Amino acid sequence: MEQLYLYLKALHLIFIVTWFAGLFYMVRLFVYHAEAKQKEESEQSILIKQYQVMQYRLWYIITWPSAILASIFAFLMLHLNSGLLFATYFQVKLVFVFLLYCYHFKCHQIFLALQKNEVQHTSNFFRIWNEGATLILFAVVFLIIVKSAINWIFGVIGIVIFSMVLMLGYKLYKKIREKRD
């Protein structure tokens, strides 16, 4: 039974990695799509068609299947080790998993709009939006590795500081990019 649990854990981790990879790249494609809307019509139509194909394949061939498989393997692991549900750190992790699914579903809404070429956000919004998955990833990894919800306050402070560093990095990148253009 322990060997089965380890196989499930390995598969869960693999599909978590591919799920996050899909989310990270999908939002990057959202950035490119929004920027393509600013181009001349001839260039815009070529780029947008290509981005829509890339988004469609990434979303339905990698991202969604990875999310589903990661969840299936997680439920199977919980079936074998239901005691995790009583661990405080794991309960906090589940809150972040819920937030990850909220993020995923919002990305799905954006994806559907972009498939119709309805760009409702700027490329700058998407660059900031992309950090949502990063914050969730950091929080979950630290919770699972450290296994401590007692130090939750330090974790929250760390995430806030990390978010501020990301924002400062984004603003610096934006200034450098504006100078280059």
How many whole angstroms separate alpha carbon 3 and alpha carbon 177? 50
Residue 12 counted as an annotated binding residue? yes
For the chain, which residues score pLDDT lower than 50? none
- Predicted local confidence at residue 69, as pLDDT: 98
CB crowding 11-34: b at 16 or more within 10 Å, else e: bbeebbebbbebbebbbebbbbbb
Burial group, residue 114, by CB count within 10 angstroms (0-12, 13-18, 19+):
buried
pTM (two decimals) = 0.85
The rounded distance, in Å, linking the Cα atoms of 18 and 140 is 15
Give pLDDT, residue 24: 97
pLDDT at 152: 62
Q: Look at residue 150 in the predicted model and tell me its pLDDT.
A: 59
Judge whether 121 is annotated as a binding position: no
Cα–Cα distance between 181 and 126 in angstroms, integer? 19
pLDDT for the residue 149? 58
| In the chain, domain spans | 2-180
Per-residue CA distances from 68 to 13, 32, 63, 72, 118 (Å): 13, 26, 9, 6, 27
